[in-house]
Every structure is written in C-alpha cells, then in structure tokens.
Amino acid sequence: MAAFRKSRNFLKQLRLLTGLRKMAHSSKEDDVRLVDILRIYNDKNGNSQFRSFKIEMKGSGTIGYLSEMVHCEGVIFRETPADYNYSWHNAPRRQFIVNLDADVEIEVSSGEKRVIKQGEIFFVEDVAGKGHYSRSVDGRSRRSLFIPVKDNFLHGNE
C-alpha cells in the first residue's frame, strides 16, 4: 500500500481509470457516453474467450459523466514482477481489473492474445474451465487493482 501512496502518478492513474482525463468539464444531462470493457469468460465448452460489454455513463453537469453504481466487494491492490508469466489459470472470482501503470498480455483458449494497456479496465469471469494465460509486456512490473463484484452483477451478456 505504501508503494501506491508514494507513486507520483497515482492520481493521474485514477483519472485514467475513471476516464476523467478525456471528459469535458461539463456535460448535458441527456448526453450518454459508453465505456467499452473487455471481458474474459468461458464458453459452454469451458474455453476462455474475449468479448466486450459497455457501461453507460450519463451527463452529470459540471462533474462530467457518471455510470450507475456498481456494487463491489472491495478493492485489492496488486503488483506483479517484471518477469511475470502466469501459466493457464482461472480467475479467482468475477472482478474488474484495472492496469494502473503497465500493460499485460492475456491469451485465451483459442490462442488469441490481446494486450490490455496501462489505464484500461477489463473484466474476468473465467472462474472454471481452461482459464487464461497472463504475461508482462516489455519486461515491466505492473500495479493493478482487482475490484471483485457482487454475485448479482450483470453486464448484459449473460
């Protein structure tokens, strides 16, 4: 936790997380913006796949755009080493993951790989089946946030 407090870029990273860096200073209340979230899930055969879903944010005047409240269990702070190479594994729970300061490469069952960039949010829910493979990118350590969701969280792709 102390490492996160010492980071000069922590507030900048949180602004990236919330998308505030890209938002106008004011919005009309009838304006809607969508945040695209990459999802890692299992198909009916237990193979991990990529898909995305959108979270709607509505104009909230001078504070920008806000989504509806997503009820979560808490926040877990994580740091992975520069040589991080985590073989096939399942997500421990359904959760958002936010890359704060580095990228991560994720591979799913089909062999498809995607790099999830610093500041991007993704959602893992492949809690059974083959799982996914995670690797560091460019030999960089990575700080991230795990945000476990409540069991009743629906993202529209169920």
In this predicted model, what pLDDT tens digit does every residue of 92-101 receive, in sequence order?
A: 999 999 999 9
Residue of 154, 89, 155 whose CA lies nearest to 126: 89
Report how far residue 92's alpha carbon sits from residue 127's, in angstroms, rounded to the nearest whole number. 6
Q: What is the pLDDT of residue 158?
A: 58
- The DSSP call for residue 62 is G
Report how far residue 146's alpha carbon sits from residue 138's, in angstroms, rounded to the nearest whole number. 22
Q: Taking the model in full, what pTM does it have?
A: 0.80
In this predicted model, what pLDDT tens digit does every residue of 37-47 receive, in sequence order?
A: 999 999 999 99
pLDDT band at 30 (very low <50, low <70, confident <90, very high): confident
Which of 156 and 67 is assigned the larger pLDDT? 67
Judge contact between 115 and 102, C-beta under 8 A.
Answer: no
Judge contact between 97 and 86, C-beta under 8 A.
Answer: no
What single string gives the DSSP state of each residue in the chain? -HHHHH-TTHHHHHHHHHTGGGS-S---TT-EEEEEEEEEEE-TTS-EEEEEEEEEEEE-GGG-EEEPPPPBS--EEEEE-TT-EEEEE--SSSEEEEESSS-EEEE-TTS-EEEEPTT-EEEE---SSS-EEEEESTT--EEEEEEEBPTT---S--
Q: What is the dihedral of CA 152, 122, 54, 28, to 10 degrees?
A: 110
In this predicted model, what pLDDT tens digit does every residue of 109-130 receive, in sequence order?
A: 999 999 999 999 999 999 999 9
Cα 155 to chain centroid, rounded: 13
